Amino acid sequence: MRDHTICRCEEVNYTSIMNAIQDGARTSKEIKLWTRAGMGICQGRTCRPLIDSLTSIHTKQPVPNFSHLTHQSPTRPIRLADLCQISKEGEK
């Protein structure tokens, strides 16, 4: 049987999630920290419901007791020289 991808952004599969749960992860946040599931460009907006469901099923807890994932806007570093160039182009 093929191992299904749970988090497409970070390429985390079902086996990785289950290994984290078997190793003691009891919350979605712990699974996120142990496997990187939910840390990709979508910040868990795609995979979070599935991670929450798997966690709930295998820890026998309702979702509200453990689902504390937070979202952060995706950012990337930008060089100051690039900012200066944008500023100069805007003045023309």
Q: Are the beta carbons of 69 and 48 closer than 8 angstroms?
A: yes
Sign of the CA dihedral with 69 first, then 73, 74, and 75 last: negative
Q: How many CB atoms lie within 10 A of CB 52?
A: 21
Residue 69: how many CA atoms within 13 Å on its side-chain side? 28
Q: Are the beta carbons of 62 and 56 closer than 8 angstroms?
A: yes
Q: Closest Cα to residue 46, out of 9, 2, 11, 4?
A: 9
Tens-level pLDDT at each residue, the chain (92 residues): 468 999 999 999 999 999 999 999 988 889 999 999 999 988 888 999 999 999 899 888 887 655 555 666 667 777 888 878 765 655 65
Q: How much is the pTM?
A: 0.65
